[in-house]
Amino acid sequence: MIDAALVNDLTEILSQALNQEQLDAFGQLVVKGFNAHTVLKLDRHVTVPKRSAASALIQLCNDSRKTDDLLQLVIETDGRPVLGKSVTFPDLDVFLNRLARSGVVYDYHKRKIKRVDKDISELRNWGSLREGKSYEITIASVDIVDNSRLVREIGMREVEKLYHRLWDLLRFELSRYDGRIWNWAGDGGIIAFALKESQSRAVKWALSVQRLLPVFNADGDNPTREQVHLRVGIASGRMKFLSDTGSIVADAINYAAHLEKQRTEPDAVSISDSVRDALSPSLASLFCAGGEFEGSQFFTCKAGSVESIVPAGT
């Protein structure tokens, strides 16, 4: 059983992707003998609206406790033929993300629907990215400036204490902007943003963190007298998703990491031209041209120059 909003989304997905004949054949894979005319008590000569047929199938699956079977069939059929015609379900990844937020996810390894108790923010695939499939993903490469000096001057134990507090800040902001930690190694790592408006959310996250750092450094959240500074480089591009996110290789990951390390100043956020092109005019206006880097233009923003950050829309 899924809630009314998800039922509506699933109805839309099925009715857009499948015709009447396909809906009957599709339904018969879950409910033996399914026929929309029979379920809706209509004569065979009457044309059944696709949305009505899809709704009838979903309701029947709910009543017979076969909703999980239907969801699994939708996921595993995407991109495959139904009655000889290849089917692609529109916005399936967005639907699966909403489904995951309700506590229902598809385990791609065990090939089954399951309920999860843990926070969806712990799922590196947002509960919706499928193993081996390519997606447009925005990457933020983050580095803590002068890590070696901090370790040398205050010792590893104090640095670890400092970074633990810092991570509380980073993770809180990630929950607001729906980002995921894909890889982290002490003083830096890779943060990922996927699905709709990923570029905007990545930029808002990075600028928000940079604006909050002076407050972090000034109050009790910082257990030392040392000031913490970050550099962030952001790029976006298509890449093949792997559950072992540390093994994902993509141009966007390399560009973000190189941009952060080679062209980004402390307390600044640098973005690729494609990321800037995806931003709203007001958000894009915060960035100034930084020059050419690895064959394309990049843009940069110092945290102190930002007057305000629009709250995340997701």
Query: Which tens digits make up the pLDDT trace of 23-36?
Result: 999 999 999 999 99
Higher pLDDT, 220 or 146: 146
pLDDT band at 314 (very low <50, low <70, confident <90, very high): very low
CA nearest 279: which of 202, 186, 210?
Answer: 202
Domain ranges for the chain: 4-122, 134-305
Q: Is the pLDDT of residue 221 over 80?
A: no
Query: For residue 241, what pLDDT is reported?
Result: 96
Query: For residue 265, what pLDDT is reported?
Result: 95
CA nearest 300: which of 257, 252, 266?
Answer: 266
CA 283 from chain centre, in angstroms, equals 20
- The class (CATH top level) of 134-305 is alpha beta
Query: For residue 2, what pLDDT is reported?
Result: 83
β-pairing, 268-272 vs 230-240, is: parallel
Structure confidence by residue, pLDDT tens digits, 105-119? 998 888 899 988 767
Q: Is the pLDDT of residue 255 over 50?
A: yes
Higher pLDDT, 192 or 307: 192
Q: What is the mean pLDDT of the chain?
A: 90
Q: Which pTM does this prediction carry?
A: 0.81
CA 65 from chain centre, in angstroms, equals 30
- Residues ≥6 apart with Cβ < 8 Å to 303: 207, 210, 211, 213, 267, 268, 269
Query: For residue 96, what pLDDT is reported?
Result: 93
Structure confidence by residue, pLDDT tens digits, 38-47? 999 999 889 9
**Gyration radius (Cα) of the chain, Å:** 24
Contact 221, 214 (CB under 8 A): no
